[in-house]
Every structure is written in C-alpha cells, then in structure tokens.
Structure 1
Amino acid sequence: MSDPAARPARWAALLSALCLLTWASVAVLGPSAAVPALGAGRVPFDLGLHPSSATVTVLLAVAVVCGGGALAAGLRALARGWRPRRFLLLAVVGAVVLTCVPPVGSADHLSYAAYGRIAALGGDPYSQPPDTFAAGTDPVVSAVRDPWRSTTSVYGPVGGLLMALSSLAGGASVRTTVWAWQLLLLLAWAVVALVARRVLAGDDRARARFHVLFTANPLLLTVGLGGAHADVLAGAAAVVALLLARGRPFWAGVALAVAVGTKAPFGAVAVGIVVAAVAARRCGAAWLARGVGGALLVLVPAHVWAGAHAYDQTRTASRYVSLATIWRPLVEAGVPRGVLLPGLVLVVALVTWLWWPVLVRGGQLQRAAGVTVLLAAGYLLGAAYELPWYDLLLWGPLALVPAPVALTGTAAARLTLLALAYVPGLVDGMSPLVEAVTLGYRREVGPWVAWAALVAVVVTGIRQRRTVEIR
C-alpha cells in the first residue's frame, strides 16, 4: 500500500530545495539591488558579479513562490501523517549555506553592525545616529544605508549588547562583523531545534509539525535567517522560553529576556506563559520567582547599560506606516495617525476573542503557545508597520499548536505574498522598470493582501468558534 504522504512530501522537499538554492544564488552573485556590498573579506563569500536588479528580482520571486509552495505541500503531507527526516537535513544544509553567503533582501544587518560598532567603541547607539558617529569616518558605521543613517537604534538593550559582541568579533571589517552576527543567528536556530527535539520527544506528530512550520520552514530560513534579521534571534529565544517554561522556568526567563530585550513585541510570549500557568494552576510563588529571576538577571544589567532613553526611537517608530499594511490606504486617505494604536488594540482583541476557544486548549505548553499565537496574529494583522521577517513572532508559537488548516494556510499565504512585496529589498539600485513593478505591487497590491488576510482570519474564526460552541 502506497504512503499517502509521499507525494506531497516529495513536493515539499523539491520546492524547498529550489527556494533555498535560488535565494542563495542571489547572495553568492554579489552586490545588487538585493545584496548590499560588504567590503573586503572572504566570509560571507560572494563572487562580486553585480547582477542586474531584474535578475535578482526574478530569482527572489521564484524563491519566495517555491518557499510558499513547499510550506503548503508540507502542511498537506503532515495532515497525511508525514514524519520528516531527510527534509530536516535539507534545512540544516540550507541554513549553513545561507550563513556563509551575504544576507539578502534588506540592509538591516548593516545597521546592526553599525549600532554594535558604536557600542563597542564606547558610544551610545540609542542617542548617536550612525551619520554623526566619528564624523562619518568609521568604516563599519559609515556603511549604513539610507534611510537609516540618521536613525538611532530601535532594538532592545539585550539585542544591542549582542550586536556589540558581534562587532568585537568583527573589528573594523563590515564583512566579518556581519558574519559574526550571522553565526550568532545560526546558533540560535540550532538551539531551538535541539530544545524542541528534547521537549517534544515522544510526540512524533508535534515534533514533525514544529520542524515543518518553524525550523525547516523555507520561508523563515530565507526571509529570516537568509536576511540575517534580529527577529530570528528574538523568535528563537521566544520559542525556547515557551518550550522550557513548564519544567525549567529560570532558563525560560533567561530566554524570554533575550527575546523581549531584542524586540519588545515578543512580550506576547510572557503573557502566554503566565496565562497558561495560571490556568494549569502551576503559577506558584517558587515557579514564578525562578522565571522572573532568570529574566531580571539578563534585563536589569542590559537596561542599566543602555539607559532610560533606550526606547526613544521605538516610540518614534510606532507612528511609522509601511506600504503593505491595512492602514496605508487609510492614512493616505486622511485618517489621522492617532487611530493607529486604538485600531491595533481592536484587531488584537477581535482576533483573540474569536480564536480563543479554538487555540487555547490542551496542555500547558499548547495553551501558552495558543495565547501567544492570538496576540501575535492580532498584532501582525493590525500593525501599522509590518515587514515579512516580523512574522517570526507568529510562526514559532504557531508550530507548537495544532491550529486548523484555515489559520495556518492563511498565515502561509499572507507571508508568501508579503515577502513578494519586499523583493528585491533595497531602496536603491533598481532599474526604473523593476522599481515600477516592485513598488507598484507593494503599494497597490500589498495593502489588499493585508486586508484579505485580516478578513480571512476573522471569517474563519467566526466559523471555528461556532463549531466549538456547538460541540
């Protein structure tokens, strides 16, 4: 008798390999409209061929579409009982390769290198923008791309310290500093996989779902790890916190501090952990003290180092509106920015109310992950500023919950279409035709993709809630 999961599993592996290969090919070709130049050095390696913006745009679009197709095929195979093994080996090879070639899709890693360099040299990345540091002569800090040259760090103190650590390893070399950061992200990714393997041992179905949706998810491997984004570090730490919260609260607190101390929205994980613990009647004084102690051990010295002004740029950024969000057409139509925060709260509340009886069920780990999924999904759907790699807030917790295909499929389609909107990635280097096509898609199609995803989550949430209530 044939294995019903074999065919979609083969498609998942093939499309995932194509996704990783085409993404890595853009990186190895060298500086382009998708890959900022890193200066002299050997690793991460590239050929320095300077491909055209059209070439890299087509290759990245193929990578994203293949990644979305691989995720869809993987979900179908999981539903038919697939237990991936060689698929995980493909993900491991892909992750290592992506770490050895330049980051693709944005210039964020140059900002990380600059903020780390400023901190490593005794400056303050939370008050000194790159264009004012060392009179613009430092080889690492001056590599920052527009529009971030005059922007102070928006990342939390723990992330800032880890950026400084990467800078100490890289010295005055942009390329080496970026590679040190990439190695740190690869380590975080590996730790998640190992912790999940141990915590989920004995539940092959849960472990398979986690690997397919998170550690071996080709969209996260490329858009996240392949772009060397800080969200990879925060997302990995957040998942470790969820996995360890029940049995090892101290280390869960440490991991949570890394997540929240890198990007504040990952505080959703803390809410999920506490709510699940209270529901399970495990929120005793000793358990809570160990968790809080672990978190404070990291957060207190990091905040003392950064100072009270560490979140000044975060507050400023809260009023930004990116193109591919539900708010962009409304703001352009004259809706005041003062409604952005209340609107976000409303979306989070609506998604949480609709999906709570569906997702917040099962054991303590599943409940914690379920609450986090609700808050993360609501935040990402209702945020005024949203980029593809921000979805790392959602996918780790989602991989730990047996969520309906309607929700997981919507999240996969949304991430695929949103990632397409941010191809090739840089604000310069595009030909007029590529700029017209890519920015046209981002501006004209992106907001309606965001609206379609929100409507789909609400409609399917209503149906799922009714089903649960009938039962």
Structure 2
Amino acid sequence: MSHNASEVVARPIDRVRPGLLFVSFTLLLLVGLTLPNAAAPDLGPRGWAPGTLLPFTLSPAAVTAAVWTAYTLGAAGVALAVWRRGSELPRPVVALLAVAAALTAPFGSGDHLSYAAYGRILALGDNPWLVSPATYRGGLDPVVSAVEAPWREEPSVYGPFATLLQGLTSLGGGDNLRQTVWLWQLFCIAAWLTIRWVLRRMLPGREARIDALWTANPLVFSFGVLGAHVDLVAAALLVLTVWAVHRYAGLPGAALAGTFAALALSSKFTYAVVLLALVLAFRERRVARSAVLVGSAVVVAGALHWWAGPHVYDQLGRSARAVALASPWRWALEQSGGGASVRSLISMLAALAAIGFAFCLHRLARSNAVESVVAQPDSAPTTNVGARALTWVAVLGGGYALAAPYSLPWYDVMVWAALPAVPVAVGVGAGSVVDLVLLARLWIMGLAYALGRVVGMTPAVEDLTMTFRTRVAPVALLLVWGWLVTSAVRAGSRRPSAGPPRGS
C-alpha cells in the first residue's frame, strides 16, 4: 500500500519537471530570438546568416525578469531530475533545441563580439595578442569595432587553437559581423552535441543522467550554447580527450588524448586540468601512459604556442589576480583597501580553498559510490577509465569554480560536461549533494551575471543587478561553501565500511 501511495504522489512531481524545463527553455529562446536588447548586442546586417525571427525587443527590465525566471525554473527542473532521476531526452527534442539555438543571436555577454574581433585580426594577418580592438585600423573595421566595453582595450586572452577557430569563422564571415558570429555559433552547437554523443558512449546506462545534467539543463544551454562561449568548445575537446583513452587502450590512446588535451588547453588554459584527471584515473601502466599523455600534449601545445608567439598569455598573467564582484573574496579585497600584496594573499588562500573544496567533492562522490555498492551491488558505478577521469575533472574543476576569485557562470561548463560520471546514491530522493551544490553555485552566478554586459541597462535595472551581484551573491556563495563542507564532514562520519569504492 505504501508503495502504491508513493507512486501516486510521485506522478504529479514527475509531471512538474517537463513544465519547468519547457518554460525555462522558451524564455531563454525568446530573449535570443527578439531584436537586440540589454543582454544581446546588436550584430548589424544579417547578410546570409539567420536574422531576427521575432520583430520586437524586450526592455532591460523584461529581459532581466525573463532570464532570472528561466534560470530559477531551470534550476528547479534540474534539481528535480537529481532527486527523482530524470528521463532520457527524445532525439527529436535534442535536434529541435539545436536548430532553435542556431536561429538565435547570442546573449548574456559580449564575448562573442571579442571572438569575432580576434579572429578578424588574425585572418587579416595581424597579432590579436598584441593589438587591442579599440586601436585596430583606427577603430573603423566593421567587425573589430563592434567590441564592447570593458574589452575594447584588451588584446586576446584566448589560446592559439581557439583563436584559429575564430580566424576560420572570420574567413567565412568576411566583413559581416552577424555572419562571423553565426559560424561561431555553429561550432558551439556542434560542441554541445558532441559532448552528449561522447558521454553516452563512455557512460552506458547513464543516458538519463547525461540529459538531466547536460542536454536538458537550461542553465548550461544558456551559458554555453545560447551564450556561444569558447568554454563550450574547450569542454568538447576535454571530453574528447577522455574519450580517446576510453576508446583506444594503451599508449596510442594516451597519445591521441594528449593531442586533444593540447587543443583544449590551447583554447583556454584552465582546461589543462584534464591531464591531471587522466593521470589520477590511470590504474595500469600509469607511468608509461602518463608520460605519453603529457609528452604528446606538450609537443602539440608547444607547436601551437610557438606559432602564435610569446605574447599569447600576456593578458592571462595580467588578469590572474582579478577578483569578481560576485565573489566572497571581493569583500576581503575591499575591506583591506586592495593592493598587490592583498591580491596575492587572496590568490594563495583561494588556491588552498580550491584544494579543500575538491577534497570535499571527492569525499561526497566516494561516499555515494560506497552507498551504491552496499545498497545494490548490481548497480555499482561505472568504473572504466573514462568515468574515473571525468569524475576527477568534475571534482577538480568544481573545487576551482567554487573557490576562484574571478569566475563567471560559463566557466562551469567544463564541470557540467563531466558531472554525469560522478557516482550518485541509490534510491529515489537520495540525490547527490555534489550535483546540488554545483547547481546552487551555477544558479547564483547566473542570477548575478544575467545580462552580462555593462551597456544597455536602465539605472533601475543596473541598481537591481549590481545589488544582487555585490551583496546577495557573495553571501549566497558563502552559504554554498558551508553546505559543501558540512555535507562532506557528515559523509565522512557515516560512510559504511565496504572496502574501497569502485569508480572513485
């Protein structure tokens, strides 16, 4: 009787999630399909690329309300999937989302304008790591001049491989900004689909979890696909790195993985974490495979950086001590009066915190793996090298995202691409604290950087968003930190003694 009663209660709950996700995705696509607004920069004449489908614009207040609502409903839908175990997404729905994304204009930041500019500078034979958009050709270039503040004075911060891809989009788009950006959007959509395809092959039996956390996650879809961020392309290369080791055994797989890893870290340097994750995941022939993995990565990345020249990461060095407004570390910076020594101290403390948070995430994942083995031995977590490596990516990347002084919501794309591999406890309602902690972090950061631009807002909307970013978000993130630490402590104290966990 109790079993039947639980099914009766469960049915309405299970019907809520599709509705939440439908409204969330619809609101996000609405923002991208309308005319330029406070979240979506004007891309100029459409050329042969798709134009605006909905011939009206949204006010800054309407855009903020739509995005905040979409993120909140989307986070609730993902949380229900974590708690109730979501279902696999039908293939036509995935295709529909991909097509819809290709018809939108990117929003949530002006980063895609910078990508187009750096690609244009490279395609025209100049050095995007030395030339700033504001000074390029007297500020008259039809693509480069579109870069918005505060990035107009900044040369490229991206690696050589990402910049090569941006250069290809510039060659295809010519002097038309919309065409160039649309070609970049196609790269991002392909990356999103590639990650799903690869995960389904590395994590058999976890198709529903992959779709719940990745494909049908409105926050990931917004920041990665609709935002057209380079992080999505780098995340696809990271997942392909792990797939190479999973698909091809021994040293050949390690060499191919090293090549993909080099392309990932040559897009965005933080993606070098995949090398450490694979080294930790290797169990057999660890020394030989690790040497080939790292060696091939060094050769390929070295060749790309030699081609790009010595100034590739000049900007990275200058921005390494930045502290975001939404970060709890910002309070320490402001209360101390700032200064180089304070920023150095914050960087050091943040590095220690990242290690601590990664340890907490690992303990929780380990605890879930043990509980799964004890409760249902036949449902033990996947233990292949790909699953182990992705778990380490989620743990290490999640610790970094939580603790980093300067972090934006799209930086979390790497973590969510790997999160489906993390073990979860068995049983409806058990959920995963790892999933929920990282979801809370992503939701808070999404609300803090909903519009992602410093232009186009009314004073009232600017006051509202900045108040949330500088006052609410830091407190909320501190609470997330506390939730993670206390959960890890409790998990360590109650962990059953069943031997070493599988897949940890």
TM-score, L = length of structure 2: 0.86
Instruction: Confirm or deny: 8 A CA contact 2:401 2:407 kept in the other structure.
Output: yes
For residue 329 of structure 1, what is the amino acid of its counterpart? W
Larger mean Cα displacement after TM superposition, 26-35 or 112-121: 26-35
- Residue among 190, 195, 198 paired with 1:195: 198
Larger mean Cα displacement after TM superposition, 172-181 or 209-218: 209-218
For residue 351 of structure 1, what is the amino acid of its counterpart? F
Instruction: Trace 1:38-437 onto structure 2 (pairs within 5 A).
Output: 38-41=43-46, 43-46=49-52, 47=54, 49-78=56-85, 82-86=86-90, 89-200=92-203, 203-204=204-205, 206-248=206-248, 249=253, 250-277=255-282, 280-283=283-286, 285=288, 287-288=289-290, 291-292=293-294, 295-296=297-298, 298-334=300-336, 336-359=342-365, 362-403=383-424, 405-437=432-464
Larger mean Cα displacement after TM superposition, 211-220 or 174-183: 211-220
Deviations 1:226-275 (A, max 9, x none): 11111111112212222332333243333322221111111111101111
Give the 3-state SS of the residue equivalent to 1:123 in structure 2. coil
Give the 3-state SS of the residue equivalent to 1:49 in structure 2. coil
Instruction: Trace 1:1-16 onto structure 2 (pairs within 5 A).
Output: 7-16=12-21
Deviations 1:426-466 (A, max 9, x none): 21111111111111111111111221121111111111122
Instruction: Trace 1:447-458 onto structure 2 (pairs within 5 A).
Output: 447-458=474-485
Deviations 1:114-170 (A, max 9, x none): 000001101111111111111111100000000100001111111111111111111
Structure number with greater Rg is 2
Shift of 1:178: 0.3
Instruction: Confirm or deny: 8 A CA contact 2:35 2:56 kept in the other structure.
Output: yes
Deviations 1:256-310 (A, max 9, x none): 2222111111111110111111xx124253x446544653564233212211210
Deviations 1:285-341 (A, max 9, x none): 3x4465446535642332122112101100111111111112111111016111122
Query: How many residues are treated as equivalent by the alignment?
Result: 461
With over 3 angstroms needed to count, the CA separation of the structure-2 counterparts of 1:331 and 1:44, relative to structure 1, is farther
Give the 3-state SS of the residue equivalent to 1:309 in structure 2. coil
* Unmatched runs of 5 consecutive residues or more in structure 2: 370-382, 426-431, 499-504
Instruction: Confirm or deny: 8 A CA contact 1:71 1:213 kept in the other structure.
Output: yes
CA distance in 1, matches of 2:331, 2:50: 39
CA distance in 2, matches of 1:347, 1:393: 19
TM-score, L = length of structure 1: 0.92
For residue 97 of structure 2, what is the amino acid of its counterpart? G
Instruction: Confirm or deny: 8 A CA contact 1:324 1:442 kept in the other structure.
Output: yes
Shift of 1:39: 0.4
Deviations 1:35-74 (A, max 9, x none): 1000001534314533211111111111111211111122
CA distance in 2, matches of 1:436, 1:357: 40
For residue 151 of structure 2, what is the amino acid of its counterpart? W
For residue 391 of structure 2, what is the amino acid of its counterpart? G
Deviations 1:10-51 (A, max 9, x none): 333222221111111111211111110000015343145332
Could you say which residue in structure 1 is the equivalent of 2:24? 19
CA distance in 1, matches of 2:109, 2:361: 34
Instruction: Confirm or deny: 8 A CA contact 2:444 2:477 kept in the other structure.
Output: no
Instruction: Confirm or deny: 8 A CA contact 2:89 2:211 kept in the other structure.
Output: no
Give the 3-state SS of the residue equivalent to 1:39 in structure 2. coil
- Residue among 21, 26, 29 paired with 2:34: 29
Larger mean Cα displacement after TM superposition, 349-358 or 185-194: 349-358
Shift of 1:5: 6.5
Instruction: Confirm or deny: 8 A CA contact 2:259 2:300 kept in the other structure.
Output: yes
Larger mean Cα displacement after TM superposition, 219-228 or 39-48: 39-48
CA distance in 2, matches of 1:184, 1:364: 28
With over 3 angstroms needed to count, the CA separation of the structure-2 counterparts of 1:48 and 1:150, relative to structure 1, is farther
For residue 53 of structure 1, what is the amino acid of its counterpart? P
Instruction: Confirm or deny: 8 A CA contact 2:357 2:402 kept in the other structure.
Output: no
The alignment's C-alpha RMSD in Å is: 2.2
Give the 3-state SS of the residue equivalent to 2:247 in structure 1. coil
Deviations 1:165-204 (A, max 9, x none): 111111101000000000011111122222222333xx32
Give the 3-state SS of the residue equivalent to 2:360 in structure 1. helix
